[in-house]
Structure 1
Amino acid sequence: MTQMMKAAVYHSLEDIRLEERPVPEIGAEEILLRTLACGLCGGETMAWYKKSEPKVLGHEPIGEVVKVGSEVTDFKVGDRLFVNHHVGRVDSHLSRRGHFTRDPFYSSMKLDPGGVCEYYRVTAQHLRMDAHKLPESVSTEAAVTIEPWSCVLSGLKVCNIQPGDTVAVVGAGFMGQGFVHLAPLFGAGKVVALDFSDWRLEKAKEFGATHTINPKTEDAVQALKAVNNGRLADTVIVIAPFPQAWADAEKLVEVGGTMHLGAPLAPGTDWVRDGSRAYFDQITITSRYSSDHTDTYSYIRLLESGRIMAEEAISHRFEIEDSAEAFEMLRLAEKSLKIVVYPHGIPEEMKNA
């Protein structure tokens, strides 16, 4: 194994560079993984969300153990692992109340140096809280969806869905498709996908949408009522991170329903609501940042049981040398879902998938 490795480094939205970085050194309670594949997340295109620059791109890797510290006993060389990029702790006020991801400790824990690189280091706390040996039945590409769609699962836990409820999903990108696909596992009856892209709406049908609406060509409120017995949706999940999308999504929520915020607005962005409706319509507003160890554990079991069409969500594959092109495709957000980068080369069997 060499001392240097390739890494795709984010400098700005228009500047993704392939650089040489040292292979991380590990401590006695840590492990080193060889990156098998890493997904790209739409959150990485939100420049305001980047806490520091430059940084190694990607936080959705799947890896194979290549080195273990002297005190590591639960993992061995050759194990194929999912390790969540952030992990929490149990001994804090927020964690004890179930808010693991909002404890500042959570975001301080990171994979070293990131996901789109040839090797990454996993700390002892990662191994204690959220590291999983992958079942043989779960492919590496399916496993790439664990981190992002565990966030979907986490969000659905607070959506107050009752058996048979109508769920509307505003925004049918990769994360929106996840909400469409997993909502029936939480009891949803009708699942309505809304997006300006007919291509994405067709994909939503493949992932289980019972109805689709393109607000660019039809009145969304009237179209929703037409397919839902004259009612609005019991739960509306809005993925599009724009104030107008939030305002439009609120118009789709039935009295007594839930509106779930599936992605954040930029800091300092106002979201103005009708105060009368906010009181009388008894709409519950929910949000959920990221996923914790309970979410990833649940999602992996769903994957293993065959309940999730994870591989079908992979739309494009890139070599690490083409990371800038992959990121540009992610940024444009046109006809793509989950984009995966292979730091050691795309496997032959996947090149024509």
Structure 2
Amino acid sequence: MTEARAVVSTGKGKPVEVTTIHVPDPGPGEVVVQVQACGVCHTDLHYREGGISDDYPFLLGHEVAGVVEQVGAGVEGVAPGDFVVLNWRAVCGVCRACKRGRPQYCFDTHNAAQPMTLPDGTPLSSALGIGGFTERTLVHSGQCTKVDPATRAAAAGLLGCGVMAGIGAAINTGQVGPGDSVAVIGCGGVGDGAIAGASLAGARRIIAVDKDPEKLVRAREFGATHTVHAAEADTVEAVRELTGGHGADVVVDAVGVPATYEQAFYARDLAGTVVLVGVPDPSMRLELPLLDVFARGGALKSSWYGDCLPERDFPVLAELHLQGRLPLEKFVSEEISLDDVEAAFEKMSRGEVLRSVVTF
């Protein structure tokens, strides 16, 4: 067992605390990772606010890059010294999705069996089974994906959640291809990831939609060819105007509220695809004319973790970054310490940052 400084959420809406935790030695199939960087994701704020569950205390953080420090019995595929990005989809290989050759939909992903604890023995609930706002964390070996160690940790860790969710929403779920037109509603970290993914896939026209003009400027850095200021223009009409009056082939809703989903539905071309990657509030309800759902054809999809397979996708995206084709570094707004996480949540809520990243 080792000690580590960590960011812990003790109750709904309470400011987070930086405290000492106990990290067990790895058991069978487990790995201790020395954390080098961890992004501050909106999901962590959801945990603090009780939007995920009420299983406090939470060890927050999940967009992690680091180095394997110890491995438990039976671990294969990673060894001490390996540079890894952590994921929350460590596929089981035996559930019905895995057996059907669809591991990206695995229904029984692996996590560490042992909990990390407070010094008094209170078990911690690790955010998305990772818990990355700490000097070291205990995870299942399947949550570790090796990537090229030349990748800077602050950028690499963002592949672990938000950036991957956006890129995957465009490429894996939306199946954007060369020459397609794409609209992305909401240009935060996930939305900009979708824009970057559409650019990688060869989309001809990429339309960024947001109410914040500064976010629209930033969206162009990730590959947007056109922008729509949603506070001043009708989103549906603007997207149609930019696509010859037809609508986009793929529309990604990276906000996740009924109003933006309806915009996405009507801003797509006939037989086009809507991808929902923004996470809705559990209380939200959607109403659409069923005849329109039928008549417009196409596909209405949701994208969970960008339908990614970490073992396949993380190394490729890290390599594309090293080749200069994926600007991961532009997602990093600032590098901070563990003591700055609460302030980072406030900046995130005000829309002042794309990603704050805790670095060690």
- TM-score interval, smaller chain: 0.7 to 0.9
Shift of 1:292: 6.5
The aligned residue for residue 82 of structure 1 is 85
Match of 1:150 in 2: 164
Residues 5-54 of structure 1: per-residue CA shift (max 9 Å, x gap): 21101233442111221122212543211111101222233342236222
Residue 53 to residue 205, structure 1, CA distance change in 2 (3 Å): same
Aligned match for 1:137, one of 150, 164, 171: 150
Distance 2:314 2:45 in 1: 25
Amino acid at match of 2:25: E
d(CA) in 2 for partners of 1:239, 1:256: 20
**Aligned letter for 2:289?**
D
Aligned length: 337
Change (3 A) 1:150 1:98: farther
1:318 Cα deviation from its structure 2 partner: 1.3
TM-score using structure 1 length: 0.87
Report the Cα distance in structure 2 between the residues aligned to 1:265 and 1:51, rounded to whole angstroms.
18
Match of residue 66 from structure 1: 69
Give the aligned residue type for 1:15.
P
SS state at 1:141 partner = helix
- Of 14-23 and 310-319, deviating more is 14-23
- 2:7 matched residue in structure 1: 8
Question: Do the aligned partners of residues 268 and 109 (structure 1) sit closer, same or farther apart at CA in structure 2, a change above 3 Å counting?
Answer: farther
Alignment-mate amino acid for residue 6 of structure 2: A
1:236 aligns with 2:251: yes
Q: Which moved more, 1:177-186 or 1:153-162?
A: 153-162
What does 1:1-353 correspond to in 2, within 5 Å?
Answer: 3-10=2-9, 11-46=11-46, 47-50=50-53, 52-69=55-72, 71-72=74-75, 74-100=77-103, 102-106=105-109, 113=126, 114-124=131-141, 126=142, 130-148=143-161, 149-156=163-170, 157-290=172-305, 294-305=309-320, 306=323, 307-330=325-348, 332-342=349-359, 344=360
Residue 18 of structure 1 aligns to which amino acid in structure 2?
Answer: V
Is this contact kept in 1: 2:71–2:79, CA < 8 A? yes
Name the Cα RMSD after superposition.
2.4
Classify the secondary structure of the residue corresponding to 2:251.
Answer: strand
CA distance in 2, matches of 1:321, 1:290: 28
Residue deviations 1:61-120, cap 9 Å, x none?
A: 111222233554644433222231331211111222355465442276689541101111
Contact 2:164 2:308 in 1 (8 A): no
Asked if the contact 2:236/2:264 (under 8 Å) is kept, the reply is: no
Q: How far apart, CA to CA, are the structure 2 residues paired with 1:98 and 1:21?
A: 39
Change beyond 3 A, Cα 1:254–1:155: same
Between stretches 287-296 and 28-37, larger displacement belongs to 287-296
The residue matched to 1:270 in structure 2 has which SS?
A: coil
CA distance in 1, matches of 2:77, 2:4: 26
Cα distance, 1:325 vs structure 2: 1.0
2:51 aligned counterpart, secondary structure: helix
The residue aligned with 2:122 is none
Q: Per-residue deviation at 1:291?
A: 5.2
Percent sequence identity is 25
Q: Any idea what the Cα deviations from partners look like across 1:255-284, whole Å, max 9, x if unmatched?
A: 111110012322242111111211111131
**1: CA distance, partners of 2:204 / 2:13:** 39
Counterparts of 1:166 and 1:293 in 2: how far apart (Å)?
Answer: 22
SS at match of 1:105: coil
Alignment check: 8 A CA contact 1:35 1:119 kept: yes
Decide whether the 8 Å contact of 1:81 with 1:134 is kept in 2: yes
- Of 274-283 and 101-110, more deviation after overlay is shown by 101-110
For 1:348, the equivalent position in structure 2 comes to: none
State the alpha-carbon separation in 2 of the partners of residues 131 and 293 from structure 1. 14
Once the two structures are TM-superposed, the CA of residue 211 in structure 1 deviates from its matched residue by 0.3
State the AA in 2 paired with 1:120: T
TM-score w.r.t. length of structure 2: 0.85
Native 8 Å contact 1:84 1:147 kept in 2: yes
Question: SS at the partner of 1:49?
Answer: coil
Instruction: Flag the 1:189–1:341 CA change in 2: closer, same or farther, 3 A.
Output: same
